Amino acid sequence: NAGVTQTPKFRILKIGQSMTLQCTQDMNHNYMYWYRQDPGMGLKLIYYSVGAGITDKGEVPNGYNVSRSTTEDFPLRLELAAPSQTSVYFCASGVFNSPLHFGNGTRLTVT
Amino acid sequence: KNEVEQSPQNLTAQEGEFITINCSYSVGISALHWLQQHPGGGIVSLFMLSSGKKKHGRLIATINIQEKHSSLHITASHPRDSAVYICAVGESGGSNYKLTFGKGTLLTVNP
């Protein structure tokens, strides 16, 4: 099993550009999450999904969108990138009340 | 919303020392998680517990539900234990499964 795979690992965007962070899991997990990690702060939930076709906002959803058309994939879309979106992004998956499995992260810089 | 506080924020130890990292939370939870993040690396789950104590190798996690407090202990610490240790709590009740994260404890173990 590959677990949770995130791409790309690094990306530099100019202000106003858009991009999609990819996340795929091969463990048939129904729960999937996107977090951002800023220096000195705990992980913050951006969006989450409890199954294919169902998504919901987390703590910091502004400037992001998600979709969950399949169990395996949970892409995160950034529209009109802003410097405040410079962060490390983690995708995670799991089943109810179980340990989460994290991807290796995407380091995004918006300049 | 649950507040998760970790202490200390930074911890430096000599190889072989016994390490304790603490985590307190403010409201009832379904489970508490301990995670490990190496510098520049991904996040891995160490423990998930809802009562009592769990042990894995040199790592021990305990939780006191009444006091809303958990500790992570590392016995015979080693430089490879150097990492950020993150406490996270799962919300109690409901089918949605979301975690609230502490800011992490940076552990450095010197040889």
Mutation site, B35, B43, B101, interface A, largest A CB count within 10 A? B43
Q: What is the pLDDT of residue B98?
A: 82
Span A61-89, average pLDDT? 96
Mean pLDDT in each 10-residue stretch from start to end of chain B (111 residues)? 91 98 90 92 92 96 96 97 95 71 96 96
Mutation site, B38, B45, B56, B91, interface A, largest A CB count within 10 A? B45
Q: What is the pLDDT of residue B70?
A: 98
Span A84-94, average pLDDT? 96
CA dihedral A41, B16, B55, B57 (to 10 degrees): 110
Pairwise CA distance, residues A27 & A37, whole Å: 24
What residue of B is the nearest CA neighbor of A56?
B96
| Pairing, β B105-110 against β B83-91 | antiparallel
Q: Cβ A56–B30 below 8 Å, yes or no?
A: no
Instruction: Find chain B residues with C-beta within 8 A of A48's C-beta.
Output: 96, 98
Q: What is the pLDDT of residue B92?
A: 63
DSSP alpha helix (H) spans, B12-91: none
Coil, helix or strand at residue B26 = coil
Instruction: Find chain A residues with C-beta within 8 A of B102's C-beta.
Output: 42
Under a CB-based contact definition with an 8 Å cutoff, are residues A55 and A75 in contact?
A: no
Span A27-55, average pLDDT? 93
Q: Which of A40, A90, A98 sits opposite B43 (nearest CB)?
A: A90
Pairwise CA distance, residues A49 & A57, whole Å: 9
Q: Cβ B88–A43 below 8 Å, yes or no?
A: yes
Size of interface A-B (CB pairs under 8 A): 57
Q: Cβ A41–B95 below 8 Å, yes or no?
A: no
* Secondary structure of A15-38 in HEC code, one letter for each residue: CCCCEEEEEEECCCCCEEEEEEEC
What residue of B is the nearest CA neighbor of A89?
B42
Instruction: Find chain A residues with C-beta within 8 A of B30's C-beta.
Output: 97
Which residues, 6 or more positions from A68, have their beta carbon under 8 angstroms from its beta carbon?
A32, A49, A51, A52, A53, A54, A55, A74
CA dihedral B72, B78, B82, B84 (to 10 degrees): -10
Residue type, A43: L
Pairwise CA distance, residues B74 & B57, whole Å: 9
Tokens of B52: 């009592």
Instruction: Find chain B residues with C-beta within 8 A of A98's C-beta.
Output: 48
Residue A18 in this model has a pLDDT that exceeds 60: yes
Q: What is the pLDDT of residue B94?
A: 56
Residue type, A90: F
| A68-77, A95-104, B3-12, B76-85: least confident range | A95-104
B38-to-A14, A32, B24, B84, B90 alpha-carbon distances in Å:
29, 22, 22, 6, 23
The distance of A18 to chain B (nearest Cα, Å) reads 24
**Cis link prior to B8 (omega < 30° from 0)?**
yes
Please indicate whether residue B87 or residue A97 has the higher confidence score (pLDDT).
B87
